[in-house]
Amino acid sequence: MKASVDELAIFGGRPAFPEVLHVGRPNIGDRGRLLDRINDLLDRRWLTNNGPYLEEFEEQLVKLTGVPHCVAMCNGTVALEIAIRAAGLAQEVIVPSFTFVATPHALQWQGITPVFCDVDPHTHLLDPCRVEELITPRTTGIIGVHLWGRPCRVGELTEIARQHGLRLLFDAAHAFGCSHQGSMIGGFGDAEVFSFHATKFVNSFEGGAVATRDGDLATRVRMMRNFGFVDYDQVSYVGTNGKMTEVAAAMGLTSLESMAEFTAANQQNYHRYLTSLDGIPGLSLLTYDEEERCNYQYVVLEVDQGVRRLGRDLLQQILQAENVFARRYFYPGCHRMEPYRSYFPSARLLLPQTERLVERVLSLPTGTAIGPDEIGTICDIVRFAVSSAPEITERLARSAPLEAAPARERRSEGT
């Protein structure tokens, strides 16, 4: 516990942690089981092209989601790109700007214009009322994002899509293992896309999957994943190489075997944060509906910029000096990134809630790499920083301006 401002690392004190604590440090699972699988696939010399581990991984995804078709991919971004193409999206598609940049990139990469829509300030999820306002004759679809593992307002978006004859996809990169009204994420809309990137609580090193109840769509997705082949030497679609390798599938299976353990660790960490940060002025922790299935993968703090003059960015820099690498998800907002900043220079005028959130949100470390003791220390630092904010800001005002957040913060979150 820091006893004075002088002890803060930002002013030269010893950092609270000797090694960096990251938001998304990978979960490993049973190393022995993983190495057994790797040795087995090496012995069989079947390294890719729809091998037995890939097929088993897809079978497990079907079982866990209750969705009849789950097509594994090399990563979540390619999975989203293929789902978009297989669903026939074109011209303009409505998406949130408050998301990882891969969501609009998957559209722009294919010559489709992402139309940025604002989010609900309380849930951080696509606002159906704003969606309806943006629909034009050029709109072909909607992509909702189940941010933080909390489901979009699926019913309302489904009805809007039905009324206007639009395709509805969900970027479910954060939402594997989560449910909505008792049904597992994966079966809503025309398709949902998962990520098994290394930073996700279930990972396959790199990986993703398209889940759908539509058999025809699943067939197109499978062919597009493999260059458009429909038979050994017959190509019927424009496709790409989106296949998941056997070693990635082996890691995915190993992760799935420890999924309950990973979820329990995340839930325990979430409750520790919830208790330890309670009552701190100007801070609020995003909460989860514990009546639903949830992976508790993200611990998300909102920082009121005006309280005690301690804004989100200063709190982040204080924590980073202590080797707590909290992340400003999803700063600065996709609409402020290129090429979208140049394409849509006035987008911020239609995104007031997004503009507000990108200046307030801070994601804190969690996962199996940390536990109650580390979280207790992190929360002590946060509480001390808030209570000492006037002294900290006054002292900083007398010294040189703080440098920008370290480049390490910009490590790709993945999708």
Q: Where are the domains of the chain?
A: 5-24+259-326+365-410, 31-257
Q: List all residues 6 or more positions away from 122 whose beta carbon is below 8 Å from its beta carbon.
A: none
pLDDT at 63: 98
Token pair, residue 325, equals 């690498």
Mean pLDDT (whole number) for 367-389: 96
Per DSSP bridges, beta strands 361-364 and 299-303 are: antiparallel
How do the residues of the chain divide into helix, strand and coil, expressed in percent and rounded to 5? 40, 15, 40
pTM reported for the whole predicted model: 0.94
**Residue listed under structure tokens 């056997």:** 246
For the domain with range 5-24+259-326+365-410, which CATH number is right: 3.40.720.10, 3.90.1150.10, 1.10.10.10, 2.30.30.100? 3.90.1150.10
pLDDT > 70 fraction of the chain, expressed in percent and rounded:
96
Q: List all residues 6 or more positions away from 395 whose beta carbon is below 8 Å from its beta carbon.
A: 5, 11
pLDDT at 297 over 80: yes
Question: In this structure, are residues 258 and 30 in contact, taking their beta carbons and an 8 Å threshold?
Answer: yes
Q: How many helices (H) and strands (E) does the chain have?
A: 14, 16
pLDDT at 397: 86
CA atoms within 13 A on the CB side of 348: 11
Q: List all residues 6 or more positions away from 244 whose beta carbon is below 8 Å from its beta carbon.
A: 48, 54, 57, 72, 73, 74, 204, 207, 252
Q: What is the pLDDT of residues 211-244, one digit of tens each?
A: 999 999 999 999 999 999 988 889 988 999 999 9
pLDDT at 199: 95
Mean pLDDT (whole number) for 315-322: 97
Q: List all residues 6 or more positions away from 12 whose beta carbon is below 8 Å from its beta carbon.
A: 6
Per-position DSSP letters for 216-234, written without gaps between them = HHHHHHHHHHBTTEEETTE
Question: In this structure, are residues 351 and 130 in contact, taking their beta carbons and an 8 Å threshold?
Answer: no
User: ∠ CA(97), CA(100), CA(104), 5° rounding?
Assistant: 60
pLDDT at 161 over 60: yes
Same CATH topology for 5-24+259-326+365-410 and 31-257: the answer is no
pLDDT band per the 50, 70, 90 thresholds, residue 400: low
pLDDT at 311 over 50: yes
Q: What is the pLDDT of residues 334-353, one digit of tens each?
A: 999 999 999 999 999 999 99
Nearest CA among 168, 116, 175 for reference residue 144: 168
Residues in the chain, how many?
A: 415
In our burial notation (b when 16+ CB lie closer than 10 A, e otherwise), range 49-87 reads ebbebbebbbebbeebbebebbbbbbbbbbbbbbbbbbb
pLDDT at 231: 84
Architecture of domain 31-257: 3-Layer(aba) Sandwich (3.40)
Question: Three-state SS for 350?
Answer: helix
